[in-house]
Homo-oligomer: A and B are copies of this chain.
Amino acid sequence: KVDSDRLWETIHSTAKWTDVSRSPSRADDIRTAGLSRLTLSNEDKQVRDWFVQTTESLGCKTFVDQIGNIFAIRPGLSNDDVPATFVGSHLDSQPSGGRFDGVLGVAAGVEMLRVLNDNWIETEGPVGVVNWTNEESAKYPISMMGSGVWADRISLQDAWDARSVHPGSPVTTAKQELEQIGYLGSVPASYKDGIRLGAHFEIHLEQGPKLEIARQAIGVVEGVQAYKWFTVTITGRESHAGTTDFSNRADALYSAATFITMVRDVAKSLGGLATIGMLTVSPSSVNTVPGEVKLSLDIRHPSDEVLDKMVRTIQSESQTLASAATNTAQGRHHLTKITIGMKEDFSSNAVKFSPEAIRCVEQSAAHLLGDETKIRRMTSGAGHDSVCTNMHCPTAMIFIPCKDGVSHNPNEWCEKVDCATGANVLLHSVLRMDKL
């Protein structure tokens, strides 16, 4: 059994490596302080150093790969050629994120190592804990970047070249920052030539309200919905706010507003989700009609086919919007022309986790909880590093409830007892898989 207090302490003590400048007023109450630890920041370096020191002190060997993923491996009884059964998640956060998203998974992995050591347990094969780089993609907008490179679904070069987008900070590439914080490793970032994974288990807060509403303790995650990210560029024409009649305007921001309401309508009609999380206006002057807007579009659906349909519908509705916004009256066309372009940045198909790994989770949960009604099979709305590991090794996930279903918010909260229950299921899932 995990030590509930110790796990809780790990989660909250590592939260001191946070950028306090982002939420200073709330920093004294752990229920609302949240966490601001953008990937590859100084705070991320500090928590990485902690991770390496802690896992090494617990008897692991650590390996840093070329994209900064850190693998800590505890030897098993068999020879070293057997790939380890891993627990993994991420220590980076959203700009104003919560204390559990990602951190719970890594902390539960460290807790697993401690329980194994305390109880002199030797596993058949090695077991490990992995901290994946830039899962959040808040700074470098490539989702699940570190695990994606490892899984060979993102090229190392594309990830190295990713440019930071966080407003108010200078633009850097991921490679520059890996070097800067000393985590540009030499191990190939590859499931083939680098660290091999025998299996991957991840515990995470649900980030949605289902478990809480149903008063259930454990979600056995069967898979992850599909999602795609786009950069949308809307161009109009800069003009004077006081002298340009509406009939002479090509207002890129006004068209962006109609685009934003349109995508929500499309998503609703197809039963999916759509979010515009980033938007910048140019030239950004109070008395100038905007000439260009760039925005991010995140769309999701459990079905790949419906997601594709969502893309096609949004694309064609965009063209309708742009034409409707352009005033074609005599001589006005070039003054009022609106264009809308969409560039796909990222795509993740719907994922089904490994039946074998799911079984390990489900049996452990049933065994530990002794009450099937507390357990729910479910699909994840969010992407996780497990999406990438699932391409190359048996993978499954464990969800625990979170308050109000809230995540990506400093108010994100999980109860201590739920963290411990989930961490126990994780520990036992790893041990079951190790036996297999």
Interface set, chain A 373-387, CB cutoff 8 A to B: 380-383
Q: How far is the CA of A275 from the CA of B287 in the complex (A)?
A: 7
Q: List 26 A-B contacts (CB under 8 A).
A: A96-B283, A96-B291, A137-B287, A138-B288, A143-B287, A166-B284, A207-B240, A208-B245, A225-B242, A237-B409, A238-B410, A239-B407, A240-B408, A241-B298, A241-B300, A242-B300, A243-B381, A243-B382, A246-B264, A246-B268, A253-B276, A254-B276, A277-B285, A277-B287, A277-B288, A334-B404
Structural contact, A278 and B286, CB atoms closer than 8 A: yes
Nearest chain B CB to A244 CB, angstrom units? 7
Q: Does A77 contact B (CB under 8 A)?
A: no
Residue of B nearest to A275 (CB): B241
Interface segment out of the listed A179-187, A255-263, A304-312, A389-397: A255-263
User: Of B284, B382, B408, which one neighbours A167 at CB under 8 angstroms?
Assistant: B284
Most buried by B among A165, A254, A287, A289: A287
Residue of B nearest to A143 (CB): B287
Could you mark each residue 201-243 of chain A with 1 if its beta carbon is under 8 Å from any beta carbon of chain B, else 0? 0000011110000000000000001010100000001111111
Q: Does A406 contact B (CB under 8 A)?
A: yes
Q: How far is the CA of A229 from the CA of B245 in the complex (A)?
A: 18
Q: Does A324 contact B (CB under 8 A)?
A: no
Q: Does A109 contact B (CB under 8 A)?
A: no
Structural contact, B206 and A243, CB atoms closer than 8 A: yes
Could you mark each residue 271-302 of chain A with 1 if its beta carbon is under 8 Å from any beta carbon of chain B, else 0? 00101111111011111111100001010100
Structural contact, B408 and A285, CB atoms closer than 8 A: yes
Q: Does A41 contact B (CB under 8 A)?
A: no
Q: In the assembled complex, which residues on chain B have CB atoms less than 8 Å from the CB atom of A238?
A: 94, 96, 408-410
This protein's copies in its complex: 2
Nearest chain B CB to A411 CB, angstrom units? 8
Q: In the assembled complex, which residues on chain B have CB atoms less than 8 Å from the CB atom of A244?
A: 208, 273, 381, 405
User: Of B95, B251, B380, which one neighbours A275 at CB under 8 angstroms?
Assistant: B251
Structural contact, A242 and B287, CB atoms closer than 8 A: no
Q: Does A126 contact B (CB under 8 A)?
A: no
> Does more than half of chain A's interface fall in helix, strand or loop, or is it mixed?
loop
Identify the 8 closest CB pairs spanning chains A and B, nearest first.
A243-B381, A241-B275, A208-B243, A257-B260, A257-B257, A242-B382, A242-B381, A138-B285
Nearest chain B CB to A250 CB, angstrom units? 10
Structural contact, B408 and A94, CB atoms closer than 8 A: no
Structural contact, B240 and A407, CB atoms closer than 8 A: yes
| Chain A interfacial residues counted at CB < 8 A | 73
| Chain A residues in the interface with B (C-beta under 8 A) | 94-96, 136-138, 141, 143, 165-167, 206-209, 225, 227, 229, 237-246, 248, 251, 253-254, 256-258, 260-261, 264, 267-268, 273, 275-281, 283-291, 296, 298, 300, 334-335, 380-383, 404-410
Q: In the assembled complex, which residues on chain B have CB atoms less than 8 Å from the CB atom of A237?
A: 406, 409
Most buried by B among A137, A138, A244, A256: A244
Structural contact, B239 and A408, CB atoms closer than 8 A: yes
Q: In the assembled complex, which residues on chain B have CB atoms less than 8 Å from the CB atom of A409?
A: 237-239, 291
Given A227-B242, A287-B137, A290-B277, also A261-B268 (CB < 8 A): no
Q: In the assembled complex, which residues on chain B have CB atoms less than 8 Å from the CB atom of A277?
A: 241, 253, 281, 284-290
